[in-house]
């Protein structure tokens, strides 16, 4: 078995040893699990809603190409400029050229995981444009020069004391471990940024094809400000976020907020349908939408892997994942951590770059049990493990397939097959093993670093059953 250390292994080992980090995550995830549980107190209703949610998402995926065209048409009719990007680089180029055209130097951002996916902040900085995060969690993470460690709560890895230190050091405000005070101070700083920014950039939770509406779910009001105060608004989304009808958003919204934070509904649900009209008092003068592929069409082409695209980014799978709880989001080393990250990142970055992710799961199934749109995450993990061992990589459309088809592993598994395929040889081997049990090694690392080895039985079950049959 391959146990050489890779970057994921190193990072996760370090994370497991970081006691403070583990305590932060454990308590945060415990809280989130409890809240979700309370929000879904009627299990039958939850189940019915999950079925509906999964159907709504599946329905829009089945019709994805048509719905995207319809969305584009509707948005253009309403004056939104629609851009298509196949790769992160293309998406960045589009945003950079809008910025240059608008002669913008400052972008205020609402929360957007897709912008993290394309590493927008760094890329904009390279051309001298400043991106300022306005979501409180993102703002904290940005001050710390880090990336989000959770897709809904980006700064969840930090406790109040750490945040108080950070705000004091970076912004000079008085150090008080008081969430309300800190929020108030941050808000004052952010207000200024909203007024000064030339462009507001946001993500999209659902895009409705029927009406050409971009929906944005948020709690802090920063999303509303981002999309209305600056004179230009750029929205960015993965192509899978489209839904067919306006009414589709109702079950999804309900599932999203309750799965994510246990809220029955969020404070804000923004529905954006174009730039300011002539007789309107506010709103941006121009609105752009960037539609990003980045490996998504690769999933789209496969009946099974397609299920990944149902995801509504609620993070319930992370909150309930025993692995995520113990290593936190940064250890994964990619934009999307946790169970969804393990099945999504291999498509975005290729299996060769992400080969440890699908293996880093005990397949316990907690993620699939809570997923509001019923994504069979463990099955997809097994599928991706298979893709990593793909004997003929050319016949797979998963980027990086076959990366593990080398070394001793395939040999070991064919030996294993040979051993377990025939009853006689199997019994011969197992009987010999149990006879030679006195030779059994006492240690077998890494198993025995923290556990004892189970002792081989004196007589195998087969032998005992055989002896009985003969009596």
CB 202 within 8 A of CB 216: yes
Is residue 312 involved in binding ligand SF4 (CB under 6 A)? Answer: yes
180 binds, among ligand SF4, other proteins, none (CB under 5 to 8 A by kind): none
Residues in region 310-349 near other proteins by CB under 8 A:
322-323, 326-327
Task: Say how far apart CA 181 and CA 175 lie, in whole Å.
Answer: 10
Residues in region 243-302 near ligand SF4 by CB under 6 A:
259
**Which member of 92, 95, 289, 315 binds ligand SF4 (CB under 6 A)?**
315
3-class DSSP state for residue 234? strand
Least distance (Å) between residue 447 CB and ligand SF4: 31
7 binds, among other proteins, ligand SF4, none (CB under 5 to 8 A by kind): none
Residues in region 44-83 near other proteins by CB under 8 A:
47, 50-51, 54-56, 58-59, 62-63
Is residue 313 involved in binding ligand SF4 (CB under 6 A)? Answer: yes
Query: For other proteins, what does the binding mask look like between residues 382 and 401, x meaning CB under 8 A?
Result: x-xxxxxx-x----------
Positive or negative torsion for Cα 190, 191, 196, 200: positive
Is residue 306 involved in binding ligand SF4 (CB under 6 A)? Answer: no
CB closer to ligand SF4, 226 vs 259: 259
* Binding segment toward other proteins, per CB under 8 A, in 89-97, 152-160, 271-279, 372-380: 372-380
Name residue 270's beta-bridge partners. Answer: 216
Instruction: Please name which of 24, 5, 10, 38 lies closest in space to residue 324, comparing C-alpha atoms.
Output: 24
Size, binding site for other proteins by CB under 8 A = 87
Name residue 106's beta-bridge partners. Answer: 130
Residues in region 413-452 near other proteins by CB under 8 A:
413-414, 416-417, 419-424, 426-427, 430, 433-434, 446-452
CB closer to other proteins, 253 vs 287: 253
Name residue 200's beta-bridge partners. Answer: 108, 233
Size, binding site for ligand SF4 by CB under 6 A = 15
Residues in region 237-266 near other proteins by CB under 8 A:
244-247
**Which member of 103, 277, 406, 455 binds other proteins (CB under 8 A)?**
455
Query: For ligand SF4, what does the binding mask look like between residues 373 and 412, x meaning CB under 6 A?
Result: x-x-------------------------------------
Q: Cα 462–466–467 angle (5° rounding)?
A: 120
Task: Say how far apart CA 399 and CA 410 lie, in whole Å.
Answer: 20
Task: Say how far apart CA 228 and CA 201 lie, in whole Å.
Answer: 10
**Which member of 314, 348, 366, 401 binds ligand SF4 (CB under 6 A)?**
314
Is residue 27 involved in binding other proteins (CB under 8 A)? Answer: no
CB 252 within 8 A of CB 260: no
Least distance (Å) between residue 280 CB and ligand SF4: 35
CB closer to other proteins, 123 vs 390: 390
20's enclosing H/E stretch is helix 19-39
Count of alpha carbons within 13 angstroms of residue 97, beta-carbon side = 8
Q: Is 409 exposed, middle or buried (0-12, 13-18, 19+ CB in 10 A)?
A: middle
Name residue 194's beta-bridge partners. Answer: none
265 binds, among other proteins, ligand SF4, none (CB under 5 to 8 A by kind): none
CB closer to other proteins, 391 vs 407: 391
- Share of the chain residues as helix, strand and coil, in percent rounded to the nearest 5: 55, 10, 35
Q: How far is CA 29 from CA 54, 240, 323, 343, in A?
A: 24, 27, 11, 21
Least distance (Å) between residue 339 CB and ligand SF4: 6
Q: Biggest alpha carbon distance in the chain?
A: 97
400, two tokens = 């990086």
What is the contact surface with ligand SF4 in residues (CB under 6 A)? 259, 311-317, 339-340, 370-373, 375
């Amino acid at each position: 078995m391959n146990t050489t250390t890779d970057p994921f292994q190193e990072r996760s080992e370090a994370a497991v040893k970081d006691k403070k980090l583990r305590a932060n995550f454990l308590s945060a995830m415990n809280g989130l699990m409890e809240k979700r549980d309370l929000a879904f107190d009627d299990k039958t209703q939850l189940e019915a809603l999950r079925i509906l949610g999964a159907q709504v998402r599946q329905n829009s995926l089945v019709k994805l190409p048509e719905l995207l065209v319809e969305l584009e048409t509707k948005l253009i009719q309403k004056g939104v400029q629609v851009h298509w990007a196949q790769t992160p680089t293309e998406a960045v180029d589009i945003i950079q050229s809008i910025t240059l055209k608008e002669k913008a130097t400052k972008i205020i951002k609402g929360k957007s995981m897709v912008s993290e996916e394309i590493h927008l902040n760094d890329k904009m900085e390279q051309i001298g444009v400043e991106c300022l995060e306005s979501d409180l969690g993102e703002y904290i993470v940005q001050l710390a020069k880090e990336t989000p460690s959770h897709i809904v709560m980006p700064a969840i890895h930090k406790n109040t004391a750490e945040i108080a230190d950070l705000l004091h050091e970076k912004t000079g405000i008085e150090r008080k471990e008081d969430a309300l005070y800190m929020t108030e101070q941050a808000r004052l700083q952010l207000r200024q940024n909203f007024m000064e920014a030339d462009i507001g950039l946001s993500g999209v939770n659902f895009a409705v094809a029927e009406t050409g509406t971009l929906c944005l779910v948020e709690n802090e009001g920063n999303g509303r400000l981002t999309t209305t105060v600056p004179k230009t608004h750029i929205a960015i989304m993965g192509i899978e976020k489209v839904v067919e009808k306006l009414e589709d958003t109702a079950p999804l919204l309900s599932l999203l907020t309750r799965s994510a934070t246990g809220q029955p509904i969020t404070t804000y649900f923004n529905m954006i349908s174009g730039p300011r009209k002539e007789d309107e008092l506010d709103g941006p003068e121009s609105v752009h939408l960037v539609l990003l592929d980045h490996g998504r069409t690769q999933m789209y082409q496969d009946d099974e892997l397609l299920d990944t695209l149902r995801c509504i980014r609620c993070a319930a799978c992370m909150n309930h994942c025993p692995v995520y709880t113990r290593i936190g989001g940064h250890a994964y080393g990619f934009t999307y951590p946790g169970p969804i990250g393990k099945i999504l990142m291999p498509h975005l970055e290729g299996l060769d770059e992400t080969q440890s992710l699908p293996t880093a799961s005990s397949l316990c199934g907690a993620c699939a049990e809570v997923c509001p749109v019923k994504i069979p995450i463990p099955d997809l993990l097994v599928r991706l493990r298979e893709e990593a061992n793909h004997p003929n990589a050319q016949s797979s459309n998963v980027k990086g397939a076959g990366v593990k088809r080398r070394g001793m592993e395939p040999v070991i598994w064919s030996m294993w097959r040979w051993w377990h395929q025939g009853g006689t040889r199997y019994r011969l081997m197992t009987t010999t093993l149990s006879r030679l049990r006195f030779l059994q090694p006492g240690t077998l690392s890494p198993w025995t670093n923290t556990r004892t080895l189970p002792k081989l039985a004196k007589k195998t079950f087969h032998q005992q059953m055989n002896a009985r049959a003969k009596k």
